[in-house]
Amino acid sequence: MYGFKNGCSGLSDLCKSADIIAIQEHWLTPYTLDQLLKFDENFMCFGWSAMYDRISSGFITGRPHGGLGLLIRKSMNVCVSVIDVMSNCRVAAVKISLSNGQSFLVFIVYFPCYNRSVEYIDELGECLGFIEKCANLSDCDNFVILGDMNFQCATDNEGYNLFMSLCEELHIKRADDICGSDIEYTYMQESTGINSAIDHIFLSEKFVDKVSEYAVCDDIVNMSDHFPVRCVLRNFSNDKVITKPQADGYSRRWDRANLDDYYSRSGFLLQQIHIPTCLLNSTCDTLACCHWSSINEYYRSIVACIQLAMNDCVPMVRNGSLKPFWNSELQELKQASIDAHSLWKLCDKPRHGIVNKLRLESKYKYKLKIKELECMFVHDFDDELSNLYVRKDTNAFWRKWNSKFSKRAAVPLNIDGKCKDVDIADAFCESFSKAQFNSYKNTADYADCLKSADV
């Protein structure tokens, strides 16, 4: 991810199509981790910071590092439980239980950078030992290991050889072992041109033949030097629950809608409505109208058509997902970066020449403008807070403060595979009803309870 701010836009794009997303190097501290935990209301979000030791040892110097995360779409209707996390946040073990009875133990990994030193072997050995311990103590037979492994799959790589010895014990293979892939690299350093394939996904052997696609995801706006790896499993589905975005967390963005499509769609739907022309020549009683039902039905049909056209053509955007400093200039730079990247792909992804230069320049202009406008926004926000404080306008000061720094209570993400508030409330009701009785109606149980309390 190369930092949460850098990878935020790419992560938003991945959330539109992926069901499970593993994250490495978000660099968030424990007190900023809620940015990831509340990233998207359609996902169960988990995150772990690697900065605990750094922030507890004094002033933070240098750039932040590490951090793991996992996003799972709520509509998958799965039960998720965190098994364990390494103290240095190199590996996180999470159990995913499907409604059909199957369960997986998923390991999100961020292995140390490969070198030939003894320290590297020791640190990687700790990571592999942690994975082996969690796998042996769990009741799962299906395993998934994915993330930034920092080694290439080559027999002359000592890190890869150590990892493969664990894979043989757990009966795990690389996801593209059968379907194959044309991945040349998953990491690219644009300034030097150095590239390597160091991000991998490994699955239990019995699921490798279900992999229909294993490729690099290069169709998103990616600010990181790592490219996301996409793995698609065929004939592998769970009983999904169709959920709609909560109205409280989303809003309609008419400025992002295609108004021509909306006019066309609404016009087509409105033409299908039966118009009660008979009402034009009808008369009502002197004291009461006898055509209310027909008029109301006609009105409801019009409203339903407009709402359907709106749902089809006007996107709902999660509140807070758009940058507050976003403007038309940033939108143009983003589109220019997307167009340059698409052209680069059409030209077979050259690493030299004018097409590659155009792609890099467009990307850097977009990235630098984001940083520039973000700094301006922060400075303006600080100035406004200072002015409100000097004027002693406490109400306006705290409203402004809470608009940026307020920590809202987290909503329960998933309880026993249930995501909706009503279903969760019913589950609690059923659970507590089994542990209580009516003391007025069941006097025998009440007497036994009193007797045991006296003892």
Q: What percent of the chain has pLDDT over 70?
A: 85
Would the pLDDT of 206 be above 90? no
* pLDDT of amino acid 38: 83
Average pLDDT of the segment spanning 413-430: 72
The full length of the chain comes to 455
Residue 446 pLDDT greater than 70, yes or no: no
Over residues 260-281, the mean pLDDT reads: 85
pLDDT at 415: 64
What is the reported pLDDT for 280? 75
pLDDT value at residue 239: 47
Helix axis angle for 328-346 and 354-390, nearest 10°, is 160
- The band of 37, judged by pLDDT with boundaries at 50, 70 and 90, is confident
Say what the pLDDT of residue 249 is: 57
**What pLDDT does 399 receive?**
86
Which regions of the chain carry the CATH code 3.60.10.10? 4-233
pLDDT at 437: 60
pLDDT level of residue 68 (50, 70, 90 thresholds):
very high
CATH 3.40.50.410 correct for 4-233 = no
Confidence of residue 322 (pLDDT cuts 50, 70, 90): low
- The confidence score (pLDDT) of residue 207 equals 85
Output the pLDDT for position 163.
Answer: 92
Rounded Cα distance between 141 and 5, Å, is 37
The gap from C-alpha 163 to its chain's centroid, in whole angstroms, comes to 28
pLDDT in tens, 97-149: 887 778 889 999 999 988 888 899 999 999 999 999 998 888 888 899 999 99
pLDDT tens, position by position, 6-16: 788 788 888 88
Tokens 């043989």, residue? 168
- The reported pLDDT for the residue numbered 236 is 60
pLDDT band at 409 (very low <50, low <70, confident <90, very high): very low
**Using one digit for the tens of pLDDT, what is the confidence trace for 169-178?**
889 999 888 7
HSE toward the beta carbon, residue 262, CA cutoff 13 A: 14
Q: What's the token pair of residue 135? A: 């796998």
Q: What's the whole-number average pLDDT of the chain?
A: 81
**Predicted confidence band at 220 (pLDDT cuts at 50, 70, 90)?**
confident
| Predicted confidence (pLDDT) at residue 320 exceeds the cutoff of 80 | no
Are 7 and 26 contacting, i.e. CB atoms less than 8 angstroms apart?
yes
| Six-digit token string for 200 | 């991998």
For the ranges 166-170, 317-321, 386-390, 408-412, the lowest mean pLDDT is seen at 408-412
Residue 384 has pLDDT above 50, yes or no: yes
The pLDDT assigned to 417 comes to: 60
